[in-house]
Amino acid sequence: MRARRRRRRESPRRRMTLRRLTLALLLTLLPIGAAGCWDRQELNELGIISATAVDVTESGRWRISYQLVIPSAISAQGAYVGLSSAPFNVFTTEGESFRGAVSRATQEMSRRLYFGHNQIVVVSEEAARKGISELIEAYMRNGDSRETVMMFVTEGNARKLLEQLLPMEKISGAGIVRLITQEGNHGGNFRQMTVFNVAQDLLGPVRVTGVPGIGLSGSDEPVDSVDAAKKTYTGAKIRLQRLGAFKEGRLVGWLSTHEARGLLWVRGQAKETTVSFSCPDEKLKRNSIRLRRTHARVRPYREGEGWRMRIEESAEGTLLEYNCEGSLDKPQDLERLEERIERELRNDMESGIRASQRLGADLAGFGQALRLSDPRGWKEVEKEWNEQVYPQVRSEFDLHVKIARTGRSNRSYVQAAEDARRKE
């Protein structure tokens, strides 16, 4: 009797334990059933986009162009070896809204557009002056578009850049990314700007940003066919040129290459750059130095009712060319050379600051420096900073350039040849 009572008492516990084990087993097996290919997308059903161009029609509608990769054409080895047709195709759609124009692609495309591999977006000057807020909204909101896409602005038609072939690259969209990456790391004139970087700047306290300009240089003969790309000389070439200044989402003007470089020095964003400078009594800049290890700091000071910015900059570099008279054996000789390089840097920085002041766009980062060092002072001038205060800001410079290495010789070749003739 006691054994039967124990069994009756233990049976509810066993049942509860079995229920729990069964439930745990079901919860473990459910994800296995959910994992599958229910949301698969076959590669031959997608149209892979590598670059996008944004233009605007006369009626104000968006005109979006797409660089569609042809997988069979890019599978061959070599730049254009064995290709009888271009490795991509460019087509255009229009719409009143940005995504509306994209959705119209279904009317002429047999494949669904896939933007996961889109690497660049090029905006025409006309579209940029209209405003890029809708473009940023579309990229930041939709999951199939990446905010890491590189942004560029061009003076002419943006679609023409997508049609251009690059001699060393099959896909020009990927080639332009390598171009700006190389420039940012070694050129020192422009830096990479993604859609996220642009949105971050325009939503910041100063609401301005600079976007690299890109265009066609050389002859008017376009390189839009495989036969043209196979030649030893190509006519039109894609080239980074000028800097587009944006304020509150719209393009307000352009800065030259040396002005853009000067602003990078002011902000401390120049990684590595080559600076050319002249000899004491010459105008021609026949000497050059490769500058690295840069450090910059901006210190705001009140000056009456306005502000003065003190820019402290230090850099170290290697001498690449030296065609002046005299040698560099003594420390005072190096110091005089360093002073000439400092004057060259100062000229670039002053030019960049003045150009951005004329546009009423604080691309020098003075507003951000003021906000961090003096929050109360920034609150006083925040609303009228770009239009009224920034154009009146005065600058002073404290530059220190150090020549770490002079190369294999302390004399120029011209000086060495002259010394050899004297010995004869």
CATH number, position 402 = 3.30.300.210
56 shares a domain with 183: yes
Return the higher-pLDDT residue of 253 and 295: 253
Confidence of residue 61 (pLDDT cuts 50, 70, 90): very high
Position 157 scores a pLDDT of 93
For residues 164 and 172, is the Cβ–Cβ distance under 8 A?
yes
260 shares a domain with 249: no
Confidence of residue 11 (pLDDT cuts 50, 70, 90): low
250 shares a domain with 161: yes
222 shares a domain with 357: no
What's the rounded Cα separation, in Å, for the pair 46 and 115? Answer: 10
5, part of any domain = no
Mean pLDDT of the chain: 85
Domain final residue, candidates 213, 232, 255: 255
Return the higher-pLDDT residue of 221 and 381: 381
Position 187 scores a pLDDT of 84
Position 79 scores a pLDDT of 56
Domain final residue, candidates 226, 255, 284: 255
What's the rounded Cα separation, in Å, for the pair 62 and 159? Answer: 12
171 shares a domain with 108: yes
6, part of any domain = no
Kindly report which listed range (125-129, 238-242, 250-254) carries the lowest average pLDDT score.
Answer: 238-242
Mean pLDDT comparison of 8-22, 79-93, 399-413, highest-scoring range: 399-413
Position 230 scores a pLDDT of 62
249 shares a domain with 263: no
What's the rounded Cα separation, in Å, for the pair 110 and 96? Answer: 23
Position 119 scores a pLDDT of 93
400 shares a domain with 314: yes
Is 78 a residue whose pLDDT tops 60? Answer: no
345, part of any domain = yes
Position 294 scores a pLDDT of 84
Position 99 scores a pLDDT of 84
Confidence of residue 26 (pLDDT cuts 50, 70, 90): confident
Question: What digits encode the pLDDT tens for the residues 335-392?
Answer: 888 999 999 999 999 999 999 999 999 999 999 999 999 999 999 999 999 999 999 9
The SS3 of residue 63 is strand
What's the rounded Cα separation, in Å, for the pair 57 and 69? Answer: 25
What is the number of other CB atoms lying within 10 angstroms of the CB of residue 169?
19
Structural domain including 412 reads 256-423
265 shares a domain with 227: no
Position 197 scores a pLDDT of 95
Is 400 a residue whose pLDDT tops 80? Answer: yes
269 shares a domain with 213: no
318, part of any domain = yes
What's the average model confidence in pLDDT over 47-53? 91
Kindly report which listed range (56-60, 79-83, 217-221) carries the lowest average pLDDT score.
Answer: 79-83
Closest CA relative to residue 313, chosen from 354, 348, 358, 289: 348
Position 344 scores a pLDDT of 93
Is 302 a residue whose pLDDT tops 70? Answer: yes
Helix axes 257-267, 331-359, angle to 10 degrees: 110
- Exposed, middle or buried by CB within 10 Å (0-12, 13-18, 19+), for 40? exposed
349 shares a domain with 206: no
260 shares a domain with 188: no
283 shares a domain with 187: no
Question: What digits encode the pLDDT tens for the residues 164-219?
Answer: 888 778 888 899 999 999 998 888 899 999 999 999 999 999 999 999 999 988 76
DSSP 91-119: EEEEESSHHHHHHGGGGT-SSEEE-TT--
20, part of any domain = no
Looking at the DSSP bridge assignments, the partners of residue 297 are: 312
143, part of any domain = yes
For residues 252 and 245, is the Cβ–Cβ distance under 8 A?
yes
What's the average model confidence in pLDDT over 147-165? 91
Return the higher-pLDDT residue of 358 and 13: 358
Is 250 a residue whose pLDDT tops 90? Answer: yes
Is 106 a residue whose pLDDT tops 60? Answer: yes
What's the average model confidence in pLDDT over 397-409? 87
Position 378 scores a pLDDT of 95
Position 145 scores a pLDDT of 75
Residue 9 is encoded by which pair of tokens? 């008492």
Position 77 scores a pLDDT of 56
Q: What angle do CA 45, 47, 48 make, to 5 degrees?
A: 125
36, part of any domain = no
Domain final residue, candidates 228, 255, 282: 255
Is 2 a residue whose pLDDT tops 70? Answer: no
Total domain count for the chain? 2
37, part of any domain = no
